[in-house]
Structure 1
Amino acid sequence: MTTVEPHRTGRVALPATGRLIDLSMPIEPSPFDPAVMRRRLWRHEHGGRRIGRKAVFNRRLPLRLRLARAARYVAGGRRIGPGCFPDGLFLGNEVFTLSVHAGSHVDAPFHYGPRTGDRPALRVDEIPLDRCVGPGVLLRLTHKLTDHGPAQSITAADIRQALARIEHTLSPGEVVLIHTGADRLWPGPRYFTAHPGMTVEATEYLLEQGVTVIGVDTAGFDLPAPVMIERYYRSGDAAHLWPCHLLGRRRAFLQIERLGGLDRLPRPTGFTVMFLPIHVRGAGAAWTRPVAIVPEEGT
């Protein structure tokens, strides 16, 4: 049990105590994921020698000073090495070159286009943090994920039926989480090619109820990219290409993509969702560690 300090945002009061449920997917290399391109590891046993060389051959230093230090280094002076650290181990470090759409992340309106209606679209560092906390509503649509066959679309009728099953009426400010079970396909290729996708009508239905944050446990909000592209090739209709994302040019909303562990939520409502995006200045998206705060029973 994790204790959460009481706090009030502009939208929701967080419970004083509760259980935190991690709703994130990892940022890790996958051979099928173009969002994670490269990683470089600085292991503890290599760090001592590397930091020693960096201290001597620092390119920010004047050339004359670098040459003088290099000469002393070659002669055996001014050296930092593994022997300077306990057990010969320095600090570890990992360098990832990746997209802001890797792992669990928040798409801001600027991702959809430069403007939302007649206003400049918000970038991820401009999103008010009180929009990143709200009462959660879990809609279970696991039947839309099929083991075989084409990727399925999530319609407005699917959303209404899921709400009817839990006997819930949506309210403005709620964070709707769409549970398809697609996270269990990670990190295989079907995670990127077989997941269900939201439709414009389903997205607009949620927006009309005052919902402006929608989270999905799929690789993307729309249908898989190969499916959309193939439909465009066959029909010549560009409306097949990322329609829900492009809806964001007319109506402002946030997407949380690549959620995980939604099956661990004990109930469809009565919990709080928090998904604070990393402060990446000027970007259209940012990584997040989304959590559900589930109150203790009886509170």
Structure 2
Amino acid sequence: MRLIDLSMTIAQHPDDPGVRDIDRWTHESGPGRLGNAAKSLIQQIADREGVSPAPFLEKEHFPDGVFMSNEIVTLSVHGGTHVDAPYHYGPSSAGRPAKTIEEVPLEWCCGPGVRLSFRGKNALEVITADDVRGELDRIGHRLRPLDVVLIETGWSAHWPDPTYYSSHPAMSPEAIEVIVDHGVKLIGVDTAGFDLPTAFMIEQFVKTGDSRHLWPCHMFGREREYLQIERMAGLDRLPGPTGFTVFCAPVRVQGAGAGWARPVALIDE
């Protein structure tokens, strides 16, 4: 069995508000930071045991003067590669209370993979229902329930250029409908989001006054229950449009509309 990583690394970027801070305890700074963090506890123990003065953790208390590393990450559940649950789209989906990320069945998150390639799409261009039908005809595949459909645009190669966030192509609700009509529950994309970039959508709304420009794919999730994997990568490494299995278990964040994930493709060799 060969595994292909289909995720992006969580990293800070000036155009990404989702990853706000990564505070790193280095091996060298660890003893001092641990000492400060544990100072109150050490004093309490010292007072109880009658030790005076209370000791302080120093470098010499650890082999080679270094401690373990630690990273304290402040980020949205939409930072890095992640799965959007129906609850993200709205309070209800398909006429029922929308599932939060910990309520999503794992059976939805694993299945035969189908890669639909739209590398010819330009910046800010939308993938249509006819595009999806045409690509399915080209690869000769008929979608089945619980297939995992991966939308390849090649846009992950733009990272970390600002165009990764500002100019990516997007899906359309009609294209998603063609896919979920076959019982598909999980769709992934190698762009920053299923919808067009936020600034572009808002610009179109301001110009036209038409709110249908605002997150149409996410709003479609209120009508039909499905999951989105956003910010995927490595789709070009797949062996073909089919012939692999995708597994993408999201982290269970209580009451959340999304969870971080590390999707992988499994190829049986």
1:160, 1:31 → 2: CA distance?
37
Select which of 241, 244, 250 maps to 2:214: 241
Q: Secondary structure at the match of 1:142?
A: coil
Task: Check whether the contact 1:24–1:261 (CA below 8 A) recurs between aligned residues.
Answer: yes
Q: Kindly indicate whether residue 178 of structure 2 is the aligned counterpart of residue 205 of structure 1.
A: yes
Alpha-carbon shift at residue 66 of structure 1 (Å): 8.2
- Structure 1: tracts of 5 or more residues without a match: 1-17
State which drifts further: 21-30 or 79-88: 79-88
Select which of 23, 26, 31 maps to 2:9: 26
Aligned match of 1:290: 263
Alpha-carbon shift at residue 128 of structure 1 (Å): 1.0
1:223, 1:56 → 2: CA distance?
49
Select which of 30, 49, 57 maps to 1:47: 30
Aligned match of 2:40: 57
State the Cα deviation string for residues 14-41 of structure 1 (Å, max 9, x = none): xxxx110000011000011111111211
Question: Equivalent residues in 2 for 1:63-142 (5 A)?
Answer: 65=44, 68=47, 75=53, 77-142=54-119
1:118, 1:168 → 2: CA distance?
30
Q: Which amino acid aligns with 1:85?
A: F
Alpha-carbon shift at residue 81 of structure 1 (Å): 1.2
State the Cα deviation string for residues 142-186 of structure 1 (Å, max 9, x = none): 00134xxxx100001111111111111111110100000010111
Alpha-carbon shift at residue 275 of structure 1 (Å): 0.3
Q: Secondary structure at the match of 1:49?
A: helix
Q: CA RMSD in A?
A: 1.8
Aligned match of 1:192: 165
Q: Secondary structure at the match of 1:137?
A: strand
Question: Equivalent residues in 2 for 1:156-235 (5 A)?
Answer: 156-235=129-208
1:152, 1:25 → 2: CA distance?
23
Scaled by the length of structure 1, the TM-score of the pair is: 0.86
Scaled by the length of structure 2, the TM-score of the pair is: 0.95
Q: Secondary structure at the match of 2:17?
A: coil
**How much identity, in percent, do the aligned residues show?**
51
State the Cα deviation string for residues 38-73 of structure 1 (Å, max 9, x = none): 121111111112222322224xx9xx948959x977
Task: Check whether the contact 1:35–1:102 (CA below 8 A) recurs between aligned residues.
Answer: yes
- Structure 2: tracts of 5 or more residues without a match: none
Task: Check whether the contact 1:212–1:253 (CA below 8 A) recurs between aligned residues.
Answer: yes
